[in-house]
Chain A
Amino acid sequence: MQRKAILKTMMMMAAGAVSVLALLAGGTSPASAGSKLTYFTWSGYELPDFHKDFLAKHPDDVEISTFGDDDDALTKVKAGFHPDIAHPCYDKIARWNKEGLLQPIETAKIKNWDKIFPVFRNLPDIQAGEGKVWMVPWDWGNTSVLYRTDLVKDPEASWNLLWDKKYSGRIAVIDAVHDTPVVAALLAGVNPFDMSPADLEKVAAKLHEQRPLVSSYTTDMTSVEQSLASGQLVAAMTWNASAVALKKQGVPVEFMKPKEGMLTWACGFVMLKGTQHADLAYDFINSRLEADSGKFLIESYGYGASTSSAFAAVPKDELQNLQLPDDPDTMLKTTVFTGPMKQNDDLAKMFEKVKAGG
C-alpha cells in the first residue's frame, strides 16, 4: 500500500509533467489552425459589442483568448501560442518587436486611421516605416488610487496613500511591472523608464516598504472591486473601469488625482508575424475603430477610445461624469505616460523577489 501511495505521488508528478508538455505541444502547432481569426486580449476586452461590424460580416469567425497581464501574454506568444491579433500596451511594443513577433500593419487599410488622435498615431515605438505601423492604438486610460471616501477621510491626493501604515492589510496593488513598480519609482524620485542599478535599489526599497501593508498583488480586478465594495479594502491601485463599475453600484469611491500624476497608458492591436488571416484581421481592427465600438468602451468602462469620432459620439456630460477629457492631450498634461521601460526585465525580476519577501 505504501508502494501504491508512492505510485499515486508519481502519478501526480506525471500529471504536472503532462500539463507542461501539453503547453509545449500546443505551442508548436499554430493556434489559428482553422479558418477563424484568433484574438488574444486583456480579459474584459473580449465583448462582442466591441466588434459588432466584424460579427455582422463574419459571424462566428473570431476566437478569443484572454490574459491578465501583457508580460504573461508575451511569454505565452514566445512559447509558441500564435494568435493573429494581440492587444498589448504601448510600453511593450518594443519588446514584442525585439522578439520578432510582429508584422507591420498598413495604415492605408485602416479605414479610420486619420480619426485616431495624432498623439497616438505619432508614438515613436509603433512606427514601422512609411505608411506602416506595428500597433494600431485602440484604448487608453489611467491607473490611479481608487479609495472608499467613507473609510478614508479626505486623504492627501498622493500615491502615498498606498504606503500608509494606517491602512495596513487593507490595500491592494496591481501585479504588473508597468503599474506598481512605476509608481514606486515616481515616489522614490526616480525616472521609471530609465534606471541605473542604484535607482533600481531605491525602487526596490520603496516596494519593500509597501509589501507588509498589501493584502494582495493582483490583476483580478473583479475581486479587488468586490473587496472595495465590502470594505475589506479601503484603497487599491486600479484602472478607470473599476471606478466606473463601483460608482454604478453606488459604492462611495473616488478615483484619485495624485499630485505625482496618474499613470496613463495606451494599448492597441498588433498583428503577429505569419498570420494566415490578414484580411480578417484588418476587418476586425476596422470594426473596432468604428465610433460605436469606441463609444461602448468609453461608456461601459470609462476608458478612452483612440478615435476622436468615438468621443464625438458620447454626450459631453457623460464624459464629465467619467472624468474623461475629450482629448488625450489634455489628460497627458497632468499624467505620466507609460512608455517603454529600458530595464523592464530587471524590474520584473526585482518585483517578483520583493513580492516573495526578498
Chain B
Amino acid sequence: MASFKTDIDAASLRFRFFMMTPGVLVACGLIVFALGLLLFLAFRVNDGSLLGAGATFDNFVNAVSDPLYAMVALRSLVIAALVTLATVVTAYPVAWYLAFHAGSNRSVILFLLTLPFWTSYLLRVFAWKIVLAYNGVLNSALMMTGLTTEPLTVFLNAPAAVIVTLAHAYAPFAILPIYVALETIPPSLREAASDLGARPFTALRRVVLPLSMPGVLAAALVVFVPTVGDYVTPALVGGPASTMIGSLIQSQFGKANDWPFGAALAVLVMLVILALVIIVRRADRLYVGRK
C-alpha cells in the first residue's frame, strides 16, 4: 500500500471525491442495498405479500432441517467442483502454450479465446444441445463409426451435459489468470531448472506449477463461485437429476411463491460460498508466502 501524503491539496481531494462517487453509489445502491433487502426478506414470514410479515427464524430452520436442501446444495457444489476441475485442467495447457510457446501468435490466440463471447451464452448452450441431442452431432458420429447402433439418450438432460457446457463457457475465465501467472515467472527460473538437470516434466511439477498456483487458485475461484449458483444451464441441458440450488431459489421466487424462504436459501448459499472463498484465500496465502 502506498503511503498517504499528509498535504493533500483541495484540488486533489475534489478529484478523488468525483472519482469515487460513482463507485460508492453503485456499491451502496446495488450491492449493499440489494444484499440488505435479501437479508431482511430472509427473516420474514411468508404471507404472500411482497415483503412478508413479522420476523422469524423459521426460514433458516426449515432450510437446514430438511435434508433436501442440503442435498441439492451439495449436488451444486459437486457439479461446480467438477466444472472447475475440468476447466482448470483443460485451461492449463492452453495457458502454458500461450505463455511459453505461442510467440508472435499470442495476440491472435488471445483474440480467438474471446471469440465465443461474441455470441450470447444461451446460444452457446443451445449449440451444446445440438451436439448432445438424441439426433445430435455426437450420436451421429457414434453411429457412423459403428460404436452404437441406436442413438444414446444419456448425453442430454444429465449432469454431465451441465458440466461440459459450463466448462466450455468458463474456459477463458480460467485461461487468462493462469496465463498471467505463468507469464510473470522469470524465464531464468525455468532455465536454471533445466541447467540443473531437471527434465521438462520435473521442471513443470517442481518449479512452474507451484509458482503458477496463485493463478490456478484464482481461476478456480472465478469458475467455481458463479457456477455453484448457475440456474440457466441445468434448466436447459440438465434434466431433473441436475437441479441445482439456483433453480430451487428461483422456484421460491417464482412458482412456489415463497420469497422469504428463497431469500433464506440464497443467504445460506452465500455463506457456504464465502466459507469456501476464505479457505481458498488461506491456501493462496500459503503459496504466496512460499514465494
Binding site for B on A (CB under 8 A): 1-2, 4-6, 8-9, 12-14, 16-18, 20-21, 24, 69, 71-72, 74-75, 78-80, 99, 169-170, 176-177, 211, 214-217, 227, 230-232, 345, 348-349, 351-353, 355-358
Nearest residue, chain B, Cβ from A217:
B240
Contact A17 B31 (CB under 8 A): yes
Chain B positions 235 through 258: 1 when the CB is less than 8 Å from some CB of chain A, otherwise 0: 000011101000110011111111
In the complex, are the beta carbons of A214 and B34 less than 8 A apart? no
Is A8's CB under 8 angstroms from B214's CB? no
B222 and A20 within 8 A (CB): no
Chain A residues closer than 8 Å to B221, beta-carbon distance: 5-6, 9
* Interfacial chain B residues near A215, Cβ < 8 Å: 153, 156-157, 239-240
Near A by CB (< 8 A), chain B positions 26-69 give 26-27, 29-31, 33-35, 37-38, 48, 50, 66-68
Cross-chain contact B248 with A352 (CB below 8 angstroms): yes
B135 touching A216, Cβ below 8 Å: no
Contact (Cβ within 8 A) B177 A5: yes
Contacts A21-B29, A215-B157 given; indicate if A230 touches B243 (C-beta within 8 A). no
Given the known inter-chain contacts A17-B31, A358-B71, please indicate yes or no for A345 contacting B218, CB distance below 8 A: no
| Given A2-B281, A232-B133, A358-B71, 9 additional A-B pairs, CB 8 A | A4-B218, A5-B177, A5-B221, A17-B35, A78-B50, A232-B134, A352-B252, A356-B72, A356-B248
Within 8 A of A (CB), among B211-267: 214-215, 217-219, 221-222, 225-226, 229, 239-241, 243, 247-248, 251-258
Closest CB of chain B to A52's CB: distance in Å? 32
CB of B180 within 8 Å of the partner chain? yes
Partner of A9, one of B71, B134, B181, B222: B222
Chain B residue nearest in CB terms to A70? B255
Contact B225 A12 (CB under 8 A): yes
CB-based contact B33/A355 at 8 Å: no
Asked if residues A72 and B254 are in contact (CB atoms below 8 Å), the reply is yes
Residues of A within 8 A of B133 (CB): 227, 230, 232
Q: Which residues of A contact B177 (CB under 8 A)?
A: 1, 4-5
Q: State how many angstroms separate the Cβ of B31 from the closest Cβ of chain A.
A: 5
Are A69 and B219 interface neighbours, CB within 8 A? no
Assess the B218–A232 pair: CB atoms within 8 A.
Answer: no
- If the complex has contacts A2-B218, A17-B30, A345-B257, are A230 and B239 also in contact, measured as CB distance less than 8 A? no
**B215 / chain A contacts, CB cutoff of 8 Å:** 1
Q: Which residues of B contact A1 (CB under 8 A)?
A: 177, 180-181, 184, 214-215, 218
Task: Check A6–B255 contact: CB distance below 8 A.
Answer: no
A216 touches B181 (CB 8 A): no
A348 and B218 within 8 A (CB): no
The A-B contact count (CB < 8 A) is 136
Q: Are A71 and B157 in contact (CB under 8 A)?
A: no
Q: Which residues of A contact B243 (CB under 8 A)?
A: 355-357
Nearest CB on A from B258, distance (A)? 7
- The answer on a CB contact under 8 Å between A348 and B284 is no
B: residues with CB less than 8 A from A are 26-27, 29-31, 33-35, 37-38, 48, 50, 66-68, 71-72, 75, 133-135, 151, 153-154, 156-157, 177, 180-181, 184, 214-215, 217-219, 221-222, 225-226, 229, 239-241, 243, 247-248, 251-258, 277, 281, 284, 288
Distance to closest chain A CB from B220 (angstroms) = 9
Those 6 A-B pairs whose CB atoms lie nearest each other, nearest first: A358-B68, A5-B218, A232-B134, A17-B34, A230-B135, A356-B243
Cβ contacts A to B, 12 pairs, < 8 Å: A6-B281, A9-B226, A16-B229, A21-B29, A72-B255, A215-B157, A230-B134, A232-B156, A352-B248, A352-B251, A352-B252, A357-B75
A232: which B residues are within 8 A, CB to CB? 133-135, 151, 153, 156
Q: How far is the CB of A333 from chain B (nearest CB, A)?
A: 31
**Closest beta carbon of chain B to A182's beta carbon, Å:** 14
Residues B153 and A14 in contact, CB atoms below 8 Å apart: no
In Å, the complex CA distance between A36 and B206 comes to: 68
- A20, B34: Cβ atoms closer than 8 Å: yes
**Least distance between A50 CB and chain B CB atoms (Å):** 26
Contact, CB under 8 Å: A348 / B239: no
Residues of B within 8 A of A6 (CB): 218, 221, 277, 281
What's the Cα separation between A5 and B216 when bound, in Å?
11
- Knowing A2-B284, A230-B134, the reply to whether A14 touches B30 (Cβ < 8 A) is yes
Which residues does chain A contribute within 8 Å of B248, judged by CB atoms?
352, 356
Q: How far is the CA of A230 from the CA of B247 in the complex (A)?
A: 27
Q: How far is the CB of A20 from chain B (nearest CB, A)?
A: 5
Which of A4, A16, A216, A348 meets B257, CB within 8 Å?
Answer: A348
Q: Are B134 and A231 in contact (CB under 8 A)?
A: yes
Asked if A356 contacts B135 (CB within 8 A), the reply is no
Q: Which residues of A contact B37 (CB under 8 A)?
A: 24
A243 to chain B, nearest CB (A): 20
Q: Which residues of A contact B27 (CB under 8 A)?
A: 14
CB-based contact B31/A14 at 8 Å: yes
| B255 lies within 8 A of A71 (CB) | yes
CA distance A36 to B71 in the complex (A): 47
Cβ of A357 to closest chain B Cβ, rounded Å = 6
Say whether B256 contacts A348, CB under 8 Å. yes
Docked-complex contact B255 and A177, CB < 8 angstroms: yes
- Please name all residues of chain B whose beta carbon is closer than 8 Å to the beta carbon of A13 when the two chains form the complex: 31, 225
Cβ of A20: which chain B residues have Cβ within 8 Å of it? 34, 38
Report B-chain residues with C-beta under 8 Å of the C-beta of A214. Answer: 239-240
Across the interface, name the chain A residue whose C-beta is closest to B33. A21
In the assembled complex, how far is the CB of residue B207 from the closest CB belonging to chain A, in whole angstroms? 19
- Tell me how far the C-beta of B143 lies from the nearest C-beta in chain A, rounded to whole angstroms: 13
B30→A18 contact, CB < 8 A? yes
Alpha-carbon distance A78/B241, docked complex (angstroms): 31
B135 to chain A, nearest CB (A): 4
Instruction: Determine how close the nearest CB of chain B comes to the CB of A200; give it in whole angstroms.
Output: 14
